[in-house]
Every structure is written in structure tokens, then in C-alpha cells.
Structure 1
Amino acid sequence: MAESPTEGHPDKLADLIADALLDEFLKKDPYSRVSLEVVVISGMTFVAGHVSTEGYVDIPTVVRNTIKEVGYTRPEYGFDADASAVITSIEEQSPDIALGISGEGAGDTATVVGYACNETDSYMPLPITLAHSISKRLADIRKSGKAPFLRPDGKVLITVLYENHKPVSAKDIIVYTQHDPDVSPEKLREFIYEEVIKKVLPEKYMTSHTRVLVNPSGRFVLGGPVADVGQTGRKIVSDAYGDTAYSGGSAFSGKDPTKTDRSASYLARMMAKHVVASGLADRCLVQMAYAFGVSEMIAFDVETYGTEKLEKEKIVKALLEIFPTSPRQIIEFLDLRKPIYKKTACYGHFGKEGLPWEELRYLEKLRDIATAL
């Protein structure tokens, strides 16, 4: 199973604002240390956190521009970018935290995971891939103007049937989408099925037993922050791999890369993806642990679920020979001081092209080292 909120979902809007602000701080000062939390509710956006930077960011302007990009631009939505108050409470990073990081230690205590499998071209699990594809299509078609009756809030839930650990069909596709009050349920269902689901769902996964539901609870006119408070960090399973793999212990958005719960999660994904893409296993889960202020990782493990093509110990040794694992090395290795985080905030942090942890740089090297051990 997997769920994917649209960018207009209150929690995802909060994540998007947090990462938009992070990117702006990194543009002004790549060494900015940022830890932000965002809350959105009717008529108000609240930004709180700790920031140490040499740059200046106009926080209200970034917040309102982000809200506009999502589509909250009309008073009847109950949440309007121009009419929304922006309240900030920003302090400098704690000197104790700064001291722990200055010695090249981890910026947080964290357990992180990375996962990959050969179910899709992106080496992501099929359920979360389909859920993100549908929810993003829902947002894209709304913003294109082709569906003026759609509003920003929404969520997709999908369940996939497996046989012998391989996906065979979609069992349930459930779409919740906010809409104008005058659109009929019948028109909405037909449009979502024809222009959203059928456009992105591979035909081979649709069967006569696939159940498709659109707004099964009834009308969905009132949505967004006016209907439900949104907060950063409340969709961590959707941000990761769905229920196919574990999620790490922490959320990602609003945190600069000194926070290992973010940066090390990206490295763990890169490791797992290399294992699968190199043909060393069909599925791979990489687990890592870090302690605040400690410059090396505390624990490391790889699970291949019996799908490995050679001894797991060789895979582990090869990974640790190629990929650096100290907090400072991860930042440099993945070039994480760039403003790349806004594009991660919605529709998952993994499986997207153009992100450094998705690059397959060392496939041949990994195969050669592992087989030579």
C-alpha cells in the first residue's frame, strides 16, 4: 500500500514552504544551518525554527510565493496567499548544537534507511511510484487550466497485489480531490478516471477486479489549511517508500544537510539503488545510524531478502569501500549545499531524476569490487 498527498495537501504545503525557505538560505549562504517547522491553518502561516546564516531571506515573500505556486490564490478557497498572515519566530542555532557540528560530527541523532528494488525503472516500489504519479498528474492537470473545477488539496491511496514478491495488478485506486461546489460527482469521477488515472497507470496493472473510487466520502469542497491544519514532517512514509520498506526515524523537509536524518537517508538510498541496478540483488535495504556530535556512523547493515547474487558480506564491504559515510563526507560527496530541496518536498524524495543521490555513478566499480572480494 502507499499514499501520496498532492502539493495542496496542508501537510505537503508546509513541507514545501519549509524547503523553499531552506533553498533560499542556501542560495544566499551555502553554509547556512537551518532547522525550520511550518504550520499552515486558515488565514495564517507560522514559521518557527533555528537558523544561522550570513544571508538574508525575506521569509513572508517566499512563503506567499510558494502558496501562490500551489494554487491557493482565491478567497473562496479559505486560504489565500495574499491574504494569509505570515508569523515568524526564528532564533540562532543553539551553541551546543553548533559545537557538535563544528567538529565534523553528525548534526542529529538518527536512524536512516535507503531502499531499492527492480519493480520499476526508477528502482522504487511500484505502489508508491503509482501513487505519486497519480497525485502529481492531478496537480499538473489542475495547474494547466484543463480542469478549472479542481482545487489544490488531494490525496491518492493505492494498493497493489503481489505474487511471489512481484507486483501483478492494482487492487484499489482511491483518489480524493478537492473541487468546486458546482461540479457533479459523476463528471468528477469520469474526468479523474479518463484524464488522470488512465494517463499514468500502466494498462497491464488494470484488471476487471481493480476498484477505482473518487471521493468515496462524498463532496470535497472545503479543503486545504482552512479544513485541516498542516505541519511539516507528518508524511514521512509517503516521503520515503510507502509500506514496502521501513521509514527512518525522522522527517526531511526544512533541514539543512548537516542533519544526518536527511543527508544520510539520501546516501543510503544511493547505496541501495546501486546494489539493485548493478544486479547484485533484486531488493536492497540499507540501514545506518548516527549519534549527534560523533563524526562516524554508529551502525551499518544491508538486507537483501535472499535475493542477493553473491554473499551479502561482499556487498557490504564493497559499499563501504566506495561510499563515504561520515557526515561531512556525505555532504561533499553528494554536493548537498546547493538549493535542490524544494523539488523533493512533494511526490517523494526518491526516484526522481536530477537529484544527486539518484545518480548511478559506480555500477561497474561496485560489481568489480564485490566480485573480486
Structure 2
Amino acid sequence: METSQITSESVTEGHPDKLCDQISDHILDEYLRQDPDSRVAIECMISKNLLVIAGEVKSKAIVSIEEIARNTIVSVGYDNAVKGMNGHQCIIVKNINEQSADINQGVDIESRFCKKIGAGDQGVMYGFACNETASYLPLTVDLAHKLAKRLSEVRKNGTLSYLNPDGKTQVTVEYDEFNRPIGIQNITISAQHKDGVDQHKLIEDIVQNVIKPVIPKGLLKQSTSLLINPTGRFVIGGPLGDTGLTGRKIMVDTYGGIIPHGGGAFSGKDASKVDRTGAYMCRYVAKNIVAAGLADRCNISLTYTIGVENPTSIYLNTFDTEKVNKKLLYVMIKYIFDFSVKGMIESLNLKEPIFSKTSVYGHFKDNHNLPWERVDKANSLKAYVSQLYEKIGSA
């Protein structure tokens, strides 16, 4: 039997890149809370005791950017320089400018008849879903996120109070020739900790309190390799040990490298930026196709051009798992879903301040009431198929 291995990683909320994503999205949410029509593109760079916040904004809102940034840093756990940063005292430099008028005229398109929204940039976006897990995510990235989230939980609830905020996880799953999971080949966890913690105790604590509560028993094998803090020490972490940037963890944010990525980051961008909105719409469509039982795996891709309201191309790939004709699927999604920028924003409620929920542990998850995670179109897709086959049968 031929087998294959797939690996995905995740990071905790204290990872420097994820810290920047959270700051960017909390700032975005506050702009949207005050002015839903805000145009925002905020990015951060963090290193040691310095945070730089830069970007372009067009909004009626008055936002205390520095206060939001400090509150976010402290809430993650960086309230002491020993941990990697002190959010109360760090240096913050801001460079926020108004959105380019050249871009704005292509985004807000007004005519005598209606107001349209053009894409805020060109690019390719991808979305994916599979029936491998309850979350419709690949097993590798689903487990990597759960391990990373569990690392933060045991730190915050005091179970492993010697942990500090930074951390990374990685999971390798072995699949059979039919793309079914056989078991876990490797789990790697790097957890920042206070100085003086015994390495053997840390390993045992992580196994008992992080790995075993998260990983299903049937997937852990005697041959599973567990690598925990493989360097033997992880005290210097967070912004003290590594520079962070908004939008650098794009594979962690999406599908763990299972499918292609258009390259555009998400965090800090309002919904006129199709890097974000198009990717959410692709996930929404793919998930509903799989939830409707029309395919086991589905990848949707959209292409947009700046200033143009509708996609220039729509791509569908079901990896030969489709239960109906692929041409029919393509016709259905164009009929049921609105891929215009305005249509995507309205159908997914993307003027609401919901984006800070996405900035850690993936942008695609079931338990945060995210509109693109709904499967409310699954019944419509199934009904459309039934009606079409009835017409064919009676013809």
C-alpha cells in the first residue's frame, strides 16, 4: 500500500507574527465599529521593545491606536520584559496615512443608477474544504491549531504556569492511497518557558496536558515521534527573540500548505481588499459544496482586477471526488453565490467588527460564528441538483 505524509504548522497567540496580526485586526475592528464604511490597511512590525504601526486609512472614526495596541499586547501575556516584551512600556511609532485617491476611485464606484464596489487590488484567492474533519479542514492543520490553542490555554489557566506566550506546533499525518488518515507520524511543539524549568518535566507536562487531551487516541501510534522543545531550551522568545510582521503566517491562517495560496495576507485589511474577502468567499463556497455531499474535497479560486467589481475568472477543483458533473457544479455556484465585491461583503457581513476573531488559530473555524463558516447554502445546492435531474429525467 502506497502512503504519503502531509505536514502543517500553527503558532500561539504569543508568536511575534501573530501578535502583529492581532494588533492589526483589533485596530481594524475599532474603525469598523465606529464607521462600517472605513477603508483600512494596517500593518505592524514588532521587535524587542519597539512596535511600528503603519498603513492607510479613510474613515470618519477616531481611534486610539496606541491604546488598542498596548491592550492587545498585554492581553496576550506580554506584560513583563522577561517574557519578551512589556506592553505597558514599549515604544510605539505610528505612521498612518490616508488611503490613496487613485485606489479609492476604483473601489467606490458611483453612477446615476447604483453604487458599486470595485476590487481594492488585483490577485488570486483560494478556498478549500474537505470532509476529513468536523471543521471541514485538513486533519494536519486542524490538529496543529488545536495544539497551539491548548498551549495558550494551559498557560493562561495556570495548569502550566511556567510557560510564556510564544510557541509553535507542527503535525505530520500519514495517509493511505485513498487519502484516508492512518496515523500521526510526528508532532513537534516548541513552547516558550521561564528560565530554570527542567526539560524532562516540561516534556512530560506537554505530553500529558497538551498532546493527549487534543490528539484522538487512534491517531497516536507507538511509532509516533514527539519532539518537544528539541533545542533543549526556549526562554528567549516573543519579540525579544524574533521580529514579527503582520501577514507573515499566511499558511497558518489558511490550510497549512495543502492547497495553493494567492500570496495576499488578510489581517488589518477591510473587506474592499479582495485578498481577504475573496479568500473568505472561496472557503464559504467550498465548504457548502462539501457539506451538501456534492464532493469530498473542494478547492475554489477567484481572480480579481483592481477597480473591477466581478471576478475575471472562477476555478473549481474537486480532486475527482465530485458526486455530480463538475460543469453542473460550476453552473450552480455562479447561480447561487454572488461573487461581486459588494455581493460578497453583504452576504458575509464583512462590515461588522468581527476580524479580531480570525487573527489567531486560523481564519477558518466553526466555533467563532464567522459568516463564511456557515453551511446555509448546502440545502439550496442539493435542491438545485435534484431539480435539474428531475428535468433531465422527464425530458
Answering whether residue 362 of structure 2 is matched by residue 345 of structure 1, we say no
Task: Find the partner of 1:304 among 301, 318, 340.
Answer: 318
Instruction: Within 5 Å, give how 1:277-292 maps onto structure 2.
Output: 277-292=291-306
Task: Give the match for residue 120 of structure 1.
Answer: 133
CA shift digits 1:291-324 (9 cap, x unpaired): 0001110000110011001100111111111110
Deviation of 1:250 (Å): 0.6
Identity of aligned residues (%): 43
Which structure 2 residue ranges, 5 or more long, are not aligned?
1-6, 110-116, 389-395
SS in 2 for 1:244: coil
Secondary structure in 2 matching 1:47:
strand
Match of 1:99 among 99, 102, 105: 105
- State the match for 1:51 in structure 2: 57
For residue 365 of structure 1, what is the amino acid of its counterpart?
A: S
Task: Note the 1:22-33 alignment, pairs <5 A.
Answer: 22-33=28-39
Q: Distance in 2 between matches of 1:351 and 1:279?
A: 19
C-alpha deviation, 1:96, in angstroms: 0.4
Instruction: Look up the match of 1:247.
Output: 261
* Counterpart position of 2:393: none
Confirm whether residue 160 of structure 1 aligns to residue 160 of structure 2.
no
CA–CA distance in structure 2, aligned partners of residues 14 and 321 of structure 1? 38
Distance 2:343 2:377 in 1: 17
Q: Deviations over 1:178-207 (max 9, x none)?
A: 001111000100000000010111111101
Q: Distance in 2 between matches of 1:233 and 1:329?
A: 25
User: Match of 1:155, as an amino acid?
Assistant: K
* Partner residue of 2:346 out of 307, 311, 332: 332
1:18-72 Cα shifts (integer Å, max 9, x gaps): 0011011111111110001100111111100000110111011000000011000
Q: 1:115/1:78 Cα in 2 relative to 1: closer, same or farther (>3 Å)?
A: closer
Q: Whole-Å Cα distance in 1 between the matches of residues 260 and 183 of structure 2?
A: 23
| Residue in 2 that maps onto 1:183 | 197
2:16 matched to which residue of 1?
A: 10
> Which residue is equivalent to 1:86?
92
Which residue of 2 is the match for residue 257 of structure 1?
Answer: 271
2:361 aligned with 1:355: no
**RMSD across aligned positions (CA):** 0.9
Match of 2:379 among 347, 351, 364: 364
Note if contact 1:317-1:370 (Cα within 8 Å) is conserved in structure 2: no
Could you tell me how far apart the structure 2 residues matched to 1:78 and 1:290 are?
A: 40
CA drift of 1:217 comes to 1.4
Give me the whole-angstrom Cα distance separating, in 1, the residues matched to 2:284 and 2:231. Answer: 39
Asked if the contact 1:36/1:49 (under 8 Å) is kept, the reply is yes
- Distance in 1 separating the partners of 2:215 and 2:121: 39
Distance 1:129 1:77 in 2: 28
Partner of 1:34: 40
1:150-177 deviation per Cα after TM superposition (whole angstroms, max 9, x unaligned): 0000100110000021111111000000
**Structure 1: which 4+ aligned runs deviate by more than 2 Å?**
370-373
SS of the aligned residue for 2:301 comes to strand
Within 5 Å, give how 1:196-275 maps onto structure 2: 196-275=210-289
Question: Could you tell me how far apart the structure 2 residues matched to 1:338 and 1:112 are?
Answer: 21
> Matched residues in 2 for 1:30 and 1:168: separation?
47
Residue type of the partner of 2:274? Answer: T
Between the two proteins, the alignment pairs up a number of residues equal to 373
Counterpart contact for 1:314–1:371, Cα < 8 Å:
no
Q: Is the 8 A contact 2:29 2:355 kept in 1?
A: yes
- TM-score normalised by L of structure 1: 0.99
Quick one: which amino acid aligns to residue 355 of structure 1? L
State the Cα distance separating 1:243 from its structure 2 match.
2.1
2:154 to 141, 164, 187: 141
Q: Deviations over 1:80-105 (max 9, x none)?
A: 01111111000000000110001121
1:60 aligned onto 2:89: no
Counterpart residue type for residue 356 of structure 2? K
Contact kept in structure 1, 2:154 and 2:161, CA below 8 Å: no
| Contact map agreement 1:41 1:226 (CA 8 A) in 2 | yes
TM-score, scaled to structure 2: 0.93
C-alpha deviation, 1:218, in angstroms? 1.6
Deviations 1:74-125 (A, max 9, x none): 1212410111111100000000011000112101112001100000011110
SS in 1 for 2:79: coil
2:208 corresponds in structure 1 to: 194
